[in-house]
Amino acid sequence: MDPVRISVIIVSYNVRFFLEQCLQSVKRAARDIPAEVFVVDNDSADGSCMMVRDNFPGVVLIENKDNVGFSKANNQAMRLASGEFVLILNPDTVVEEDAFHMILDFMDNHPDAGALGVKMIDGKGRFLPESKRSLPTPAVSFYKMSGLSALFPKSRKFGRYHLGFLSPEEVHAIDILPGAFMFIRKTVLDRVGLFDETYFMYGEDIDLSYRILQAGYRNYYFPGTTIIHYKGESTRKGSVNYVLMFYQAMIIFANKYFSRSNARWFSLIIKLSVYFRAALSLLRRLVARFSLPLLDAAIIFAGFVLINPLWESFKFSTGGHHPPEFLRVFVPAYILVWLVSIYFSGGYDQPVRIRKIVRGILYGTALILVIYSLLPEIYRFSRALILLGSIWVLSSLILERLILHFLRFPGFVLDLGARKRTAIVGREAETDRISRLLGQTGQPVQVVGFINPDENNLLASGYLGTLSQIREIIRINHVDEIIFCSRDLSINEIIRNMLNLGSMQTDYKIAPDATDSIIGSNSINRSGDLYVIPIHSVGEPQNRRLKRLFDLMTTLVLLALSPVVAWFFWPRSLNFLWNCILVLSGKRSWIGYHPDGMLPGYHLPAIKKGVIPPAGRRTGDNTSTEGWLDSNLHYARDFTIYREFVLFFRSFGNLGDRM
């Protein structure tokens, strides 16, 4: 048997579909190269391990029982690796078929090379600047954190962090390699050591790259092959968590390698940056979450300010007006009810749907009228004014959203029912499969046609054209999205077309062979987009809110009636009251999955642990694991608030069961 040349190591955490596509691409790239592949799973809960065992039996799978971090997980596999080279690879990447041949040839011809990185693009074919980086000295880091590197990316002084002055199409000796793709000589690792496990995530690639340089080797940026990197699967770039983790890694690096005085100044700069970025991130989130409701409230209040005197002139024809409390107290209360109703109806979810806003306003109006009828006569100012106000709310909020949509307000997406126009590149069998899969996902997608990958098969019917005509096909048919079938096209061809179409405002996705997923990414700062057969009904934001609202309302009623109801559960009354407290606090839900039916490989939305299972009882002598699994699947797929009511009252006698 030939000695192993490449040991591929992939650390994975809850990215099953991306991992599957990555492993398929690695399998193709290593087809005629002696290689071994390790997957280290950091306690994923999405069935990743079962997928690897079932679909990739030749892969060495290491299953951690908790998330040990990037460095420690990679080191677990590196200690077992026997290859001449070690490739550290992210699970949200796709490599070209000839990638391994290309990087092996380069390393064989450059004995001074200790490690190598390649050209990376995002899911839209855009070059990722972190493909090549400089050592983050205090000056370089200051230029990056102050924004000067973004203002002057090509400057040799200010643009050093991403080495923007170096051509991405040429080979360069660089300082830092990206952890998404690090190709390292095993002899170099034996000399400089493995990843520093002080770093949990981020910074470990900088540390190892620097140690390779210190040992007298070179790190190379090699654009001879390109990988797709669907960034953002583990941590969102704009989150406070990311800011803290990334800059903490920078502080560890500074304390380790810089002089004491430089490290002190560097740490100070880093900490100030952390506070600034964290505050900025928090402010951005607050603005994103509350700007639209606050704008709604202002518009509604302004409407009442205009409507009230007009109605007063009609109602009090001989003179008179409503007391000041009407605008000061009651109108804000009405506004709060409308906004809360819109929220629970899903009117603030993205993309915004008009029907959910209308539904929320109607529910809110009905609730206001019910409360109004229960108030003392002195506080019943005018039912007609409430109805007039609701008409204003309905018309003004719809108009407001239409204006925001046509002004392309940042972060605002209005769903007007338009379907994404999609073209599929592949042969007949695969395009038919992908078309059916798209239909099963329930996504608003319109398949406008197919593109033939075979240039010599010009007479094939049913195609819009061939791959060489793709640019014209996109333009003429107003295509929003291209799906490439990886069964019929090589990753090399897919990447080449993505790069050639870089100027087109088109999204790209890849349909891996023999899987029920279609993977893509529309932003370097956003996680990859997925089309998968949905099991998400109970996990939709609106249904989560309705489920929580149901739990709150039923628990409050039960607690109010507890002096009587508790006797119904004797001698389990204390269990019943404790369950009420847990549900009220949000630690439990009345209905949740049965634990015996939680099998790996089934991508069920996460919900709170339940007091009773969907089948209506805590245990079942004759119910199999498959039976509980089927019950859980139906509950996840078919959740409705009506069904929640039915399950709750059908299993009322089990509310005193122990958790």
Ranges of each domain in the chain:
6-132+168-233, 235-412, 420-532, 541-654
Using the predicted structure, report yes or no on whether residue 218 has a pLDDT greater than 50.
Answer: yes
- The two beta strands, 465-466 and 481-485, are unpaired
Judged against a pLDDT cut of 60, whether residue 619 lies above it is answered with: no
Residue 401: C-alpha distances to residues 288, 396, 470 (Å): 15, 9, 35
Confidence grade of residue 369 (pLDDT, cut at 50, 70, 90): very high
DSSP string, 612-627: E-TTSSS--TT--HHH
3-state secondary structure of 583: helix
Is the pLDDT score of 350 beyond 60?
A: yes
Question: What is the structure's pLDDT at 311?
Answer: 86
- 306 pLDDT tier (thresholds 50, 70, 90): very high
Amino acid at 17: F
Q: Is the pLDDT of residue 622 over 70?
A: no
| Mean pLDDT rounded to a whole number for the chain | 85
CB 528 within 8 A of CB 233: yes
pTM reported for the whole predicted model: 0.72
Least confident of 8-12, 300-304, 373-377, 578-582: 373-377
Q: Give me the percent of the chain exceeding a pLDDT of 70.
A: 88
The strand pairing partners of 116, in sequence order, are 183, 220
Taking 70 as the threshold, does the pLDDT of residue 86 lie above it? Answer: yes
Residue 534 in this model has a pLDDT that exceeds 70 = no
Give CA–CA dist 301/271, Å, rounded.
42
* Ramachandran bin of 43, using left for φ above 0, alpha for ψ from -120 to 50, beta for the remaining angles: left
- pLDDT beyond 70 at 261: no
Top-confidence range, 314-318, 349-353, 382-386, 598-602: 382-386
Of 235-239, 462-466, 567-571, the least confident: 235-239
C-alpha 524/C-alpha 445 separation (Å) is 23
CA distance 36 to 59: 7
Identity at 375, one-letter amino acid code = L
For residue 640, what pLDDT is reported? Answer: 84
Q: Which amino acid is at 76?
A: Q
Distance separating alpha carbons of residues 191 and 217, to the nearest angstrom: 11
Average pLDDT over residues 366-370: 92
Main-chain dihedrals φ then ψ at residue 323, nearest 5 degrees: -65, 155
The pairing of beta strand 218-229 with beta strand 113-121: parallel
Amino acid of residue 593: Y
| pLDDT tens figures, 586-599 | 999 999 988 887 77
Q: Does an H or E element contain 339, and which? A: helix 331-344
Which 3 state secondary structure label does DSSP give 628? helix
355-365 burial, b if ≥16 CB within 10 A, otherwise e? ebbbbbbebbb
**Starting at the edge strand that comes first in sequence, how are the strands of the sheet with 465-466 ordered?**
465-466, 445-452, 420-425, 481-485, 507-511, 517-520, 529-532
* Per-residue pLDDT, 11: 95
**Equal CATH topology for 6-132+168-233 and 420-532:** no
Q: Is residue 131's pLDDT more than 60?
A: yes
CA distances from 506 to 124, 248, 405, 523, 584 (A): 8, 37, 20, 12, 47
Strands (E) located in 43-112? 60-64, 85-89, 93-94
Collapsing DSSP to helix, strand or coil, 38 comes out as strand
Mean pLDDT of 399-408: 90
Determine if the peptide bond prior to 293 is cis (ω within 30°): no
pLDDT of residue 530: 59
Yes or no: say if 464 and 450 are a contact pair by the CB < 8 Å rule.
Answer: yes
Residue position matching structure tokens 């039976």: 627
pLDDT band at 528 (very low <50, low <70, confident <90, very high): very low
Is residue 118 scored above 90 in pLDDT? yes
C-alpha separations of 245 from 13, 199, 200, 274, 578 in Å: 17, 9, 8, 10, 38
- Exposure string (b/e) for 171-184, b if CB count within 10 Å is 16 or more? eeebbbbbbbbbbb
Q: Report the relative pairing of strands 517-520 and 507-511 from DSSP bridges.
A: antiparallel
CATH class held by domain 420-532: alpha beta
**Among candidate residues 54, 48, 60, 53, the one with its CA nearest the CA of residue 15:** 48
CA distance 360 to 293: 13
- Give the CA angle between residues 29, 32, 34 to the nearest 5°: 95
The residues pairing with 522 across neighbouring beta strands, listed in sequence order, are: none
Which whole number is the average pLDDT over 238-267? 66
Average pLDDT rounded to a whole number, residues 288-314: 91
213: how many CB neighbours lie within 10 A of its CB? 18
More confident residue, 568 or 265: 568
CATH fold of 6-132+168-233 reads Spore Coat Polysaccharide Biosynthesis Protein SpsA; Chain A (3.90.550)
pLDDT-derived band at 188 (thresholds 50, 70, 90) equals very high
| Structure confidence by residue, pLDDT tens digits, 245-259 | 666 677 777 777 766
105 torsion bin: left (phi>0), alpha (psi -120 to 50), beta (else): alpha
